[in-house]
Amino acid sequence: MKNPNPINLQSSEETRKAGWQAETRDADGHLCRVHAPFETDEEIVWMVREALEHGETVTIWPMKGGAA
C-alpha cells in the first residue's frame, strides 16, 4: 500500500478494542477493511470472498458472550 493513512497502520488489537468483529489486511499487514458484528452468515461469506479476491487476509473474532 503506497502512503498508508494512520487508520491503515492500526494494530489488530486496536481494531478489536474499537469494537470491530473482523478485519482484512494486505500483504504488507496494512489494515484494509473492518466490519462491525455480523448479522448473517452471508455477510461473513461476502467479506471473506471480497478480501480473498484482493489478496487480503481475514481475521474474524468471536462475539463477546459467545454469540456469532
State the Rg of the chain over Cα.
12
8 Å CB contact between 23 and 31: yes
- pLDDT at residue 30, rounded to an integer: 95
- Report yes or no on 66 lying in a domain: no
- Report yes or no on 48 lying in a domain: yes
- Give 65's contacts (C-beta < 8 A, 6+ positions apart): none
Residue 7 pLDDT class (50, 70, 90 cuts): confident
- Report yes or no on 31 lying in a domain: yes
- pLDDT at residue 65, rounded to an integer: 57
- Report yes or no on 42 lying in a domain: yes
Domain that holds residue 22: 13-60
**Domain count within the chain:** 1
Q: Is 63 helix (H, G, I), strand (E, B) or coil?
A: coil
Spatial separation of the C-alpha atoms in residues 59 and 12, rounded to whole Å: 9
pTM for this prediction: 0.84
- Dump pLDDT digits (tens) for 17-64: 999 999 999 999 999 999 999 999 999 999 999 999 999 999 999 987
